[in-house]
Structure 1
Amino acid sequence: MVNYDITIDKEKIVLNPEDSTSLDLVAIGNRQFHVLRHNRSYTIKILNTDFAKKTMTIEVNGNAYEMVLADEYDQMVRKMGLLTAQVHKINSIKAPMPGLIIDIMATIGQKVEAGTPLIVLSAMKMENIITSGGEGVIKSINVEVNDTVDKGQLIIEME
């Protein structure tokens, strides 16, 4: 018997197999469900899912919530203290290939995190969005729109 820890907007709920079988859950559309629990009616819509992070954004009766699901393995890892948040600080962004800068989405002083779009680089007839590989604050942008860059050329300095 596996219990699931569900955290919805920092409120933790433990869902055990008996609870899950007592839910009256009916699919009413694509990613939409009607749930009856303890004589209360809920309309639930799944807005976004990230299976790798085991997170969802759900809408319950018109209100959006962030949800995190922790199975038995996740609970054991957390209990053992093996979850450590690592923040990857970066010092620079370099051109991954030669090309032409066609857009700059970043600004000096902007705080960025991993995945933040920074530059659009046109190379081999394709537009490539260069994103941040970690977090930091943009110190300087060493290119302008329509500049050509070589592979490995420094395009953004971080602090």
Structure 2
Amino acid sequence: MANYDITIDKEKFNLSSKYIASLDIVPIGNQQFHALRHNRSYKIKILNTDFAQKTMTLEVNGNTYEMVLADEYDQMVDKMGLLSTKTHKINNIKAPMPGLIIDVMAMIGQKVETGTPLIVLSAMKMENIITSQGEGIIKSINVEVNDAVDKGQLIIEME
């Protein structure tokens, strides 16, 4: 069972996939949904989504909320203290989990810095944006869209 840390307007919540599945959510239009929880009705509209930063702006019953989603991978990276402001060179980028390549945003020869989006990996019904953890120049890209990858598989080589 997956757990997600969700921060809404600086207040943090931990939600399990079981809890999320228990919500009665029905799409009612373009980026609009109706949710029912404990006999309370909620009209939800997605105003803005930034997949790279895993943020979303929602309107719920007329009130606007900023939401940040941290999946289990983000929580693990944070817990291990891997989020660093130091600049460092990187050699290779490996798949953090098994999944399917949805998008390749990087190009051979591209100079990247910390946080540069490189690959979109679909895993556990979530799209995960793999970003550069340092700086460097892309030497080769070893995957294409629709490729299945294993955890630890080399996906990008750096110079």
TM-score normalised over the length of structure 1: 0.52
Residue in structure 2 matched with residue 19 of structure 1 by the alignment: 19
Matched with 1:35 is: 35
In the TM superposition, what are the counterparts of 1:30-69 in structure 2 within 5 Å? 30-69=30-69
SS at match of 1:13: strand
Considering only aligned residues, what root-mean-square deviation do their CA atoms show, in Å? 1.6
| Alignment partners' CA distance in 1, 2:34 and 2:66 | 19
Look up the SS of the partner of 2:81 in the other structure: coil
| 1:67 positional shift | 0.4
User: Deviations along 1:50-101, whole A, 9 cap, x unmatched?
Assistant: 0011000111111111100110100001111222357xxxxxxxxxxxxxxx
Q: Give me the whole-angstrom Cα distance separating, in 2, the residues matched to 1:41 and 1:85.
A: 42
Report the 3-state secondary structure (helix = DSSP H, G, I; strand = E; otherwise coil) of the residue aligned with 1:81.
Answer: coil
Runs of at least 5 residues in structure 1 that lack an aligned partner in the other structure: 87-159
Unaligned runs of 5+ in 2: 87-159
Task: Give identity over the alignment, percent.
Answer: 76
Is structure 2 residue 110 aligned with structure 1 residue 81? no
Bigger-Rg structure (1/2):
1
Q: TM-score, structure 2 length as denominator? A: 0.52
Aligned length in residues: 87
- SS of corresponding position for 1:64: strand
CA distance in 2, matches of 1:23, 1:76: 26
